[in-house]
Amino acid sequence: MSFPLYDLGLPSGLLAGLLFGYALEAAGFGSPRKLTAQFSLRDFAVFKVMFTAVLVAAIGLYLLRLGGVIGPASVYVPTLYFWAILAGGLMIGGGFAMGGYCPGTSIVGLASGRVDALVFIAGMIAGTTVFAYLYEPLTGFYFAAKGPDAERLPDLLGLPEWAVLAALVAIAALGFALGSRLERARGGPLTAQEVCAEDTETLATPKGAMARS
């Protein structure tokens, strides 16, 4: 088997997608209620799951490099362009807050049978299509404010990689502890039973209202 696995093409992409989707569904991210509860600081599942994924990937790659399984330049690091990243982050963050999904979780929501996820996916495809048509006129903005050549944190900060990883683990531990305290203070986190009960109540409200009237 060759490393990195993405050299295997479509099979590795499908495997990664299936595992990623399973992890998102297992974390409850097929429900927009679970996702938007992060913005109200009631449920920190999004922060905890995603930060854990970052740490596992970063530490795993570090150990694979130490063991000689992959080379130091085997992982592609995209160039950072500040204005494009800022604009994209604001748009996807706004869409996430309003729609309750990101691109990955919308697929999970659709697989769970949610019609609102289908609407979100349609909007995502429409937005991507519009961007494709506007790409050339926006090229100057897209490639403006290029980041530093040293694009990895250890290189940028001049620190050994293990020190940066240790700092990230410490930040995660602090963030998890703070997030758990905020969850308890706000009556969270949402349980699977609460999410299902709220979804059922929402669907049943119009019929119940009509019956009472």
d(CA 202, CA 32): 13
Nearest to 190 by CA among 50, 48, 43, 47: 43
C-alpha of 166 from chain center? 22
Between 70 and 183, whose confidence is greater? 183
Nearest to 203 by CA among 122, 128, 116: 116
CA dihedral 121, 125, 126, 130 (to 10 degrees): 150
- Measured in degrees and rounded to the nearest 5, phi and psi for residue 12 equal -65, -35
Query: Considering the chain, what is the average pLDDT of its residues?
Result: 82
1 pLDDT exceeds 50? no
pLDDT for res 177: 94
Mean pLDDT of all residues in 75-81? 83
Q: Which of 26-30, 72-76, 137-141 holds the top average pLDDT? A: 137-141
pLDDT for res 77: 81
Q: Band of the pLDDT at 153, cuts 50, 70, 90?
A: confident
d(CA 109, CA 107): 5
Q: pTM, whole model, 2 decimals?
A: 0.74
> Can you name the residues that pair with 81 across neighbouring β-strands?
146
Q: Please give the share of the chain, as a percent, with pLDDT higher than 90.
A: 23
Q: Band of the pLDDT at 198, cuts 50, 70, 90?
A: low
pLDDT for res 19: 87
| pLDDT single digits (tens) 110-140 | 888 888 899 999 998 998 899 889 888 888 8
